[in-house]
């Protein structure tokens, strides 16, 4: 665990904290019970405001006096971000009109109606990954055999990226979001991914296909709007990063969680319709994006008994909202049939996850097909021995060794 030397000379623990158990909030979250909105230091030395609890987080994320702009001096980066990490963003880092107009370019692809149309394609992708697992096993690392390739194949399909380039994006995506890469490695990954995507944009301008990127280009042209290739590159990179590491982490951590809660898993196996509330509950319970909802106060903002001064950085800790007993009864229990969708596992407010319905469908299909086709699936080593991504922006596991009976 890293520490930060305070002006007082005392060492203070930096955020994000380790989860001693991947299914429980870090023990340090107990400090927020007394002080739900509180300053904590990041590894860079910057002090930011942790906003915790369901009501405080709801209030903050619907307050128009907050900004998601990476250009703000006190934006909560976990590393000393070089200039390109502040400027090369897309709508996740935009506010107001710029956010709405750019988000709209992608939104049509991610409506629930459009997503449901993909069901047969995604089912095929999931089944192929399970076929490959069955052929290679028993005894495989499911994270690499299924969790990473399934969302990667889906997002490449949506963006019109050829299948043979998956590996390239998988490796670079982990470098950008995995939490262990050096700054030089992150910068190199950003350069490589951008170079590839500039080439892709140029290709789609010449030979449009049936994909999000080609549709965005056509929209600009039909409206007679000027656009820069860089904007489309940034949009694609956001969707690649947003749609890959997150869903992959949910698949692996969620599978481990189900296997470690055999009574709940038995209910799911007995009643396949339980899969819809089960996905919702696992997204709530695990909140892999707990460290991934950053903002900056654009005015003095009063929330949870504190005043966040104008210009200060903020992190909204979704795990605290999602374990808030005022909203979720017995919040620390995994109850697949809970049926409470008021969680913030996909964020809240204008930046609510654009890919939430796509992620839901991928998770539903993965767990339905996985436990139907491999009913004896189990961990190949004790859960405590599987390393987790402690300092990552998106929480998860580094691998998932599984086995089954033949
Ligand atoms: C936003 C979580 C899957 C693309 C967010 C946010 C969270 C989140 C917490 C809010 C960030 C903020 O407020 O600053 C997740 C989780 C996923 C998932 C847990 C999987 C289980 C996806 C998928 C895609 C995607 C599949 C796309 C293919 C995005 C984008 C945003 C976003 C583009 C920014 C939205 C905006 O700023 O308007 N996600 N996400 N995510 N997510 Fe996801």
Report the alpha-carbon distance of residue 219 to residue 232 in Å, rounded. 12
Q: 2-6, 20-24, 174-178 — which is least confidently predicted?
A: 2-6
Q: How far is ligand 1, taken at its centre, from the CA of residue 331, in Å?
A: 23
Q: Which tops the pLDDT comparison, 114 or 11? A: 114
Report the alpha-carbon distance of residue 375 to residue 387 in Å, rounded. 25
Q: What is the pLDDT, as a whole number, of residue 69?
A: 96
Q: How far is ligand 1, taken at its centre, from the CA of residue 275, in Å?
A: 21
Note the ipTM here. 0.99
Show Cβ contacts of residue 200 under 8 Å, excluding neighbours closer than 6 positions: 159, 160, 161, 213, 236
Question: Of all protein residues, whose CA lies closest to atom 17 belonging to ligand 1?
Answer: 246
Q: What is the pLDDT, as a whole number, of residue 49?
A: 98
Mean pLDDT to the nearest integer, 309-335: 98
**Structure token digits, residue 41:** 């230091």
- Which of 289, 353, 359, 362 best tests ligand 1's pocket when mutated (most atoms within 8 Å of CB)? 353
- Using a CB cutoff of 8 Å and minimum separation of 24, what contacts does 303-306 make? 303/37, 303/51, 303/56, 303/59, 303/60, 303/63, 304/36, 304/37, 304/51, 304/52, 304/53, 304/55, 304/56, 305/35, 305/36, 305/37, 306/35, 306/37, 306/38, 306/49
Mean pLDDT to the nearest integer, 284-297: 97
Residue positions counted in the chain: 406
Q: How far is ligand 1, taken at its centre, from the CA of residue 11, in Å?
A: 34
Q: What is the pLDDT, as a whole number, of residue 177?
A: 65
Q: How confident is the model at residue 133 (pLDDT cuts 50, 70, 90)?
A: very high
Indicate if the pLDDT at residue 374 is higher than 60: yes
Mean pLDDT to the nearest integer, 72-94: 88
Report the alpha-carbon distance of residue 71 to residue 57 in Å, rounded. 22
Q: How confident is the model at residue 224 (pLDDT cuts 50, 70, 90)?
A: confident
Atom of ligand 1 nearest to the CA of 358: 26
Task: Output the DSSP codes for 365-402.
Answer: HHHHHHHHH-TT-EESS-GGGS-B-TT-SS--BS--EE
Handedness of CA 342, 346, 352, 357 (dihedral sign): negative
Indicate if the pLDDT at residue 283 is higher than 60: yes
Q: What is the pLDDT, as a whole number, of residue 33?
A: 94
pLDDT digits (tens, 9 = 90+) for 65-81: 999 999 999 999 988 88
CB 210 within 8 A of CB 278: no
pLDDT digits (tens, 9 = 90+) for 246-272: 999 999 999 999 999 999 999 999 999
Show Cβ contacts of residue 349 under 8 Å, excluding neighbours closer than 6 positions: 61, 62
Indicate if the pLDDT at residue 178 is higher than 90: no
Q: How far is ligand 1, taken at its centre, from the CA of residue 236, in Å?
A: 13
Q: What is the pLDDT, as a whole number, of residue 179?
A: 63
> Percent of the chain beyond pLDDT 90?
77
CATH class, 27-403 region: mainly alpha
Q: Which tops the pLDDT comparison, 192 or 9? A: 192
Q: What is the pLDDT, as a whole number, of residue 153?
A: 92
CA angle 111/127/256 to nearest 5° reads 85
Q: How far is ligand 1, taken at its centre, from the CA of residue 7, in Å?
A: 36
Q: How far is ligand 1, taken at its centre, from the CA of residue 374, in Å?
A: 30
Indicate if the pLDDT at residue 357 is higher than 90: yes
Show Cβ contacts of residue 171 under 8 Å, excluding neighbours closer than 6 positions: none
Q: How far is ligand 1, taken at its centre, from the CA of residue 351, in Å?
A: 8
Q: Domain residues of the chain, as ranges?
A: 27-403
What's this model's pTM, rounded to 2 decimal places?
0.94
Q: How far is ligand 1, taken at its centre, from the CA of residue 352, in Å?
A: 7
Q: 154-168, 303-317, 344-358 — which is least confidently predicted?
A: 154-168
My answer on whether omega of the bond before 16 falls inside 30° of 0, hence cis, is yes
- Which of 246, 290, 314, 396 best tests ligand 1's pocket when mutated (most atoms within 8 Å of CB)? 246
Centroid of chain to Cα 244: 8
Atom of ligand 1 nearest to the CA of 238: 33
Report the alpha-carbon distance of residue 121 to residue 117 in Å, rounded. 8
Q: At what angle do helices 262-270 and 275-286 cross, to 10 degrees?
A: 150
φ, ψ at 140 (rounded to 5°): -140, 165
Q: Tell me which residues have their CB closer than 6 angstroms to ligand 1.
A: 68, 91-92, 103, 155, 238-239, 242-243, 246-247, 250, 283, 288-289, 292-293, 345-347, 351, 353-355, 358-359
Mean pLDDT to the nearest integer, 83-107: 90
Q: How confident is the model at residue 5 (pLDDT cuts 50, 70, 90)?
A: very low
Mean pLDDT to the nearest integer, 240-249: 91
Report the alpha-carbon distance of residue 44 to residue 80 in Å, rounded. 6
Beta bridge partners of 3: 13
For the chain, the average pLDDT equals 92
Question: Of all protein residues, whose CA lies closest to atom 1 belonging to ligand 1?
Answer: 353
Report the alpha-carbon distance of residue 89 to residue 392 in Å, rounded. 19
CB 395 within 8 A of CB 292: no
Q: What is the pLDDT, as a whole number, of residue 170?
A: 79
Q: What is the pLDDT, as a whole number, of residue 11?
A: 61
Q: DSSP letter at 17?
A: P
Question: Of all protein residues, whose CA lies closest to atom 34 belonging to ligand 1?
Answer: 92
Residue 334: closest CA among 285, 372, 283, 288: 285
Q: How far is ligand 1, taken at its centre, from the CA of residue 61, in Å?
A: 14
CA angle 250/251/257 to nearest 5° reads 80
């Amino acid at each position: 665990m890293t520490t930060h030397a305070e002006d007082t000379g005392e060492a203070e623990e930096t955020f994000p904290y380790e989860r001693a158990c991947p299914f429980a909030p870090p023990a340090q979250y107990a400090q927020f019970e007394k002080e739900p909105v509180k300053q904590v230091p990041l590894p860079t030395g910057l002090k930011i405001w942790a906003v915790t609890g369901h009501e405080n987080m709801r209030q903050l994320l619907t307050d128009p006096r907050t900004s998601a702009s990476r250009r703000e001096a006190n934006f909560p980066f976990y590393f000393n971000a070089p200039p390109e990490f502040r400027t090369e963003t897309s709508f996740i880092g935009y506010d107001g009109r710029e956010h709405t107009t750019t988000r709209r370019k992608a939104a049509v692809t991610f409506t629930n109606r459009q997503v449901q149309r993909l069901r047969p394609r995604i089912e095929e992708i999931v089944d192929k990954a399970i076929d490959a697992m069955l052929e290679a096993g028993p005894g495989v690392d499911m994270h690499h055999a299924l969790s990473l390739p399934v969302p990667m194949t889906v997002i490449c399909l949506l963006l019109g990226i050829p299948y043979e380039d998956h590996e390239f994006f998988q490796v670079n995506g982990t470098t950008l979001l995995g939490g262990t890469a050096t700054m030089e490695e992150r910068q190199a990954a950003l350069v490589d991914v951008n170079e590839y995507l500039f080439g892709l944009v140029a290709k789609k301008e010449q030979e449009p296909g049936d994909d999000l990127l080609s549709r965005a280009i056509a929209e600009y042209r039909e409206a007679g709007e000027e656009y820069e290739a860089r904007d489309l590159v940034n949009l694609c990179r956001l969707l690649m990063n947003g749609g890959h590491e997150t869903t992959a982490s949910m698949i692996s951590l969620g599978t481990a969680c189900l296997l470690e809660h055999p009574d709940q898993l038995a209910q799911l196996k007995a009643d396949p319709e339980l899969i819809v509330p089960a996905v919702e509950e696992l997204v709530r319970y695990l909140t892999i994006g707990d460290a991934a909802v950053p903002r900056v106060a654009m005015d003095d903002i009063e929330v949870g008994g504190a005043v966040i001064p104008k210009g200060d950085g903020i992190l909204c800790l979704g795990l605290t909202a999602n374990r808030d007993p005022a909203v979720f009864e017995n919040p620390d229990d995994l109850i697949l049939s809970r049926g409470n969708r008021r969680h913030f596992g996909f964020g809240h407010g204008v930046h609510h996850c654009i890919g939430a319905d796509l992620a839901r469908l991928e998770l539903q299909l993965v767990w339905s097909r996985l436990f139907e086709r491999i009913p004896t699936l189990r961990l190949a080593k004790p859960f405590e021995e599987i390393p987790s991504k402690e300092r990552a922006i998106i929480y998860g596991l580094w691998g998932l060794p599984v086995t089954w009976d033949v």
